[in-house]
Each structure stands twice: as C-alpha cells, then as structure tokens.
Structure 1
Amino acid sequence: MTLDDALAALKSHVEEGRAEGMAAYHKQTREVLGIPNPALNDLTKSWRQTLTVEERVALADQLWQSDIFEARIAAAKLLTQARLRPDAAAWALIQSWVPDFDSWAIADHVCMAGQKRLVADPSRVDAVEGWTQSDHMWTRRAALVVTLPWTKQNNPKSDDLAIRDRVLGWAASYVEDHEWFIQKAVAWWLRDLSKHDPDRTRAFLDAHGEKMKAFARKEAGKHLT
C-alpha cells in the first residue's frame, strides 16, 4: 500500500464540518481532516490484517511524515498490537516519534503502541528512562504514559515490582515540575496504581504529595479510602 492509497482511504471517512472542531479541541496547527476515531480504528485494523509487519512499519513512517493529525494517529494504531514479530523496527520507529510530540492525543496513541512493545520486552524500559531527562516536556510525560501497564498488574512478579518502583522514582523527580501535563501524568500513574497497589500509592503521596499541585494530589488519591 502506498502513502497515496492510505491517505485516500483516510479521506474517504472525512465527516463534513468536523475538522474545525477537532482542530480547536486538540489545539492543532497541522492539517486536521475530520475523521471520527471509530473509522480510524476500523481502517487501521484492516491494514494490520493485510500488511506484513515490515509493510506496516514502512507505511506508519510515511503516515507520520505527512504531518496530518489523523495520519499520525493512524500510524500509531498500525503498530498497536501485542503480538508483533519481529518488532525491533516498530520499537525504533516509535522511539523516533517521541521528540515530535506536541499534543496529548497523538502522544497518547503512540504511547499505547509503545506500551505493547515494552510489555513484550521489559528491558526496553532502560531506553525510556532516558526520556525522563529530556528538555522536551512531552518526552518526559511519555515516560510515565508508556509505562502505565506496570500500574495494572494484580499479581506482579519481582521484576515487575522493580519496574514499578523505578517509575515511581521518575515520578518523584517530576513532582516539583509544575507543568500541568507533567502533574497530570504523575496523578494518572498514581491513580491507576492505587487500584492495584494502594500501599505504594499512599507511601508516594506521604513522601511527595505536599510538593504536587492540589489537583494532581487529589486525583492521585481518588480511589484510596
């Protein structure tokens, strides 16, 4: 499938009058076509079923480079799959996109693809740790969003607990960063963790909660009794 074919398929799902509202909501300056998310899901699912992994990585790269809002989301969705073999090229491509993040919707879709690659090979968390030192706010935020699977295990193994504690260490280094999206990401990680590991969440809030923004501290403890 060529990029032109893919863009034509995307544009066939444009809903008239939708683009302006989406651009305003997502604060986009890049081109927004006006395609609803269910249509993107259906289209990328069909591509995943018909393209090889190599073809999907190549198409995802081209879609990303088009710099169209929905094309970048479609690029991420093309690579969002637990069983993706081989996946080294997909992981490398996902990492290459992180410095381009400039809005939450695109960033979160890419991080969902990244989550699958981290769960497939947890040693990749080593690379993610480097993101926490970036001058780019969206890259720092992505380090927490991409590691969200480690908030969700009910019966984590020792290696999972080590990653959980490692990411909590990153979050602790973020609490004095009062950028709204960073505070929100810390709260998101803790809120999800609290459903499965309330003790670690309480310990974090006891140690660092006073340094967090009030809204973030409240959201982080939302599910704690």
Structure 2
Amino acid sequence: MTRPPKAPKLPPEEEARLAAEAEAFAASEADYEFYDADAEASDPSALGALPTGAEAIEMLEASADPEKAVEAAAYHKAERRYLGVSVPLIDDLVTLWRAQAGDDAAARVALARDLWASDIHEAMVASAKLLTQARLRPDGEAWDLIASWVPLFDAWAIADAVCKAGDRRLVADPSRLDEVEAWIYDENMWARRATLVMTLPWTKQRNPSEADTQIRERVMNWMVILADDRSWFIQKAIATWLRELSKRDPERVQLWLNEHGRSIKKFARIEAGKLLPQPLEDELDDEMDGTEDQVEGDQIAPTQDASDTPKG
C-alpha cells in the first residue's frame, strides 16, 4: 500500500484548535446511553440498500476535505490515509447505514469489516460506530471482529471508537471479560489500555448487582498489575476509571488508593482522587521530577480524558 507523504508539523495554534475539537466531540458522546436503537427507521427497505464497502468509502470520500486531511494526519500521527471528514458527517452516514441494515447484524458486521480493511482513518472510525449499539443480536460475530481489531490499535481515536463498541458487547455478555483479561499482558500499549476503557460501564452503575460488583473488583485487580506500566495513556486510563467509580463508590476508590496509590504516577493519583471527600495525602509529591507526567513517544495526548470516551 502506498503511504501518504509525511504530514508537516502543525503550528501550536492549530494543535490547540484540533485538541478543542476533540474535546467537544468527547463531550458530545459522554453519555454511554446516547444511542437510541428505537429511533431507527421501522422499514429499512425504504432507505435503500445497504452499501458495499467500496460504495460506503465512496460516500465518505465525497465529503473529503484535503486541507483538514493534512491536519488530521499531523494530529493523529498514525500512518494511514485521512480524508478530513468531520465527525458529524461520519455519524450521519453511520446512522443511515445502521438503519439500512435493520436487524441484519451479519450485514452490519460485513460492512464494518470492509471499512476497517481500507486503512482509512474515517472509515475505521465508521466501522466501529456501526457496531456501537446496546441491542445487537446475534452479536458473536460483532464481538469477534471487535476483539480482532484490538491488537492492531495504533492511535487513541480509533482505539477509543472501537472500545466504545466493545463495551456494549461486554455488558451484553460479561463472560467475554476472560478474553479481555489476556490483553493486560499484550505487547501493544493500546490493547492493554483497552482493558480499562472497555470496562468503564461498570464504573457508572448506581445500583450494581453482586455480579457487577465482582467485575468491578476484578478490573481493580487488573489495575494493580497495570500500575507498573509507566505509559501516560495507561496511567490516565487507571486514573479515569477510578475517578468515574468515585462518583458512585468513593469508599472503594479511597481504599484502592490507600493500598496502591503510591504505585501510580503523581498526576494519576491526583486525577483518581480529585472527587473524593478526603483526597489521598501524597507524601511522594516532593520526590516526583518534572518529567514523569510527559506523554511518551510522539503520540499527542488529547486535552480531554484519553480513556473517557471514543473520539473520531
């Protein structure tokens, strides 16, 4: 495959603008229950046939913006083709395709597979969004496809879009957590991070069942293992998971921080405990140098919580 030419480095003001757009997008999808399957058309045939993968890509290309494509390539830094299509336009197309597919889960999975295989940023985001639905039956093929993508993650935007699709499938069948647990030891940092991003729904339950509480404990045990991972994105994911849980179960988060807080980075401790009634006293503050909170590598850290919500 021919790779696009290396994108030029963006000036600071452009970096800031793109980061602001990412933050606005994250805020727009912050609710895990934003999608209403009942709002889809009751008669999919009235909307026309579901496009093939090639036809769907042509629809995305019709909205391409070459200037924004260069900006997106410089921002996301993953070497693939970018079209510069805005997130709202991707959402509109995905909404249409989901409605055209109706209850045909296999057709939706087939289209998602073709879009992902294109290695086009916007098409890959769209492929994940096609599978982001609480009620998708049968969903075995969808989960298998999502899980097959995880080892291929190479940037936060695509990883988070897929994780949002994956968390629905985990809630639908928590036995899949056995497969997710293996990702803790994956060589790919984004795969390790997915173990926390995909399990965020268990931080948001106000009245968890006994089974759900056990899953919370299971994930918190994963975080003990991941705490030694010094990657900024892993540390941020731990902090976000704990912070979200502290809104519903502050005592449990306080206990985790008391026992394991010293094993995570300073910024992660602060973020994890900032909503607690009695934030963890950090006796190690003076020992931290000014470099530990830097993002590793040349991956840009978005201004919003990198493990909160998917972005496009």
TM-score range, shorter chain: over 0.9
Structure 2 Cα separation of the partners of residues 72 and 24 of structure 1 = 17
Structure 1 residue 48 and structure 2 residue 98: aligned?
Answer: yes
Structure 1 Cα separation of the partners of residues 193 and 151 of structure 2 = 11
Residue in structure 2 matching 1:80, options 107, 132, 137: 132
Structure 2 Cα separation of the partners of residues 138 and 46 of structure 1 = 30
Residue in structure 2 matching 1:165, options 217, 224, 234: 217
Return the letter of the residue paired with 2:208: P
Counterpart of 1:114?
166
Structure 1 residue 34 and structure 2 residue 84: aligned?
Answer: yes
The residue correspondences of 1:97-108 to structure 2 (distance < 5 A) are 97-108=149-160
Shift of 1:16: 4.3
Shift of 1:127: 1.2
Normalised by the length of structure 1, the TM-score is: 0.97
Shift of 1:28: 2.4
Return the letter of the residue paired with 1:80: T
Counterpart of 1:188?
240
Return the letter of the residue paired with 1:25: Y
Counterpart of 1:202?
254
| C-alpha contact (below 8 Å) 2:66/2:83 kept by paired residues | no
Counterpart of 2:207?
155
Structure 1 residue 66 and structure 2 residue 118: aligned?
Answer: yes
Counterpart of 2:178?
126
SS in 2 for 1:132: helix
Shift of 1:32: 0.8
Structure 2 Cα separation of the partners of residues 129 and 194 of structure 1 = 23
Counterpart of 1:93?
145
CA displacement, residues 64-91 of structure 1 (integer Å, 9 cap, x when unaligned): 1111111110000000000001100000
Return the letter of the residue paired with 2:189: M
Q: Which region of structure 1 is more displaced relative to structure 2, 125-134 or 146-155? A: 125-134
Return the letter of the residue paired with 1:158: E
Structure 1 residue 217 and structure 2 residue 281: aligned?
Answer: no
> How many corresponding residue pairs?
225
Shift of 1:181: 1.0
Structure 2 Cα separation of the partners of residues 152 and 99 of structure 1 = 26
Return the letter of the residue paired with 1:181: F
CA displacement, residues 130-176 of structure 1 (integer Å, 9 cap, x when unaligned): 11121221111101100000000000000000000000000111111
RMSD between aligned residues? 1.0
Shift of 1:15: 3.0
Counterpart of 1:23?
73
Structure 2 Cα separation of the partners of residues 93 and 134 of structure 1 = 18
Structure 1 Cα separation of the partners of residues 131 and 172 of structure 2 = 13
Shift of 1:125: 1.1
Gaps of 5+ in 1: none
Q: Which region of structure 1 is more displaced relative to structure 2, 14-23 or 208-217? A: 14-23
| C-alpha contact (below 8 Å) 2:82/2:121 kept by paired residues | yes
Normalised by the length of structure 2, the TM-score is: 0.71
Gaps of 5+ in 2: 1-50, 278-312
**Structure with higher helix content:** 1
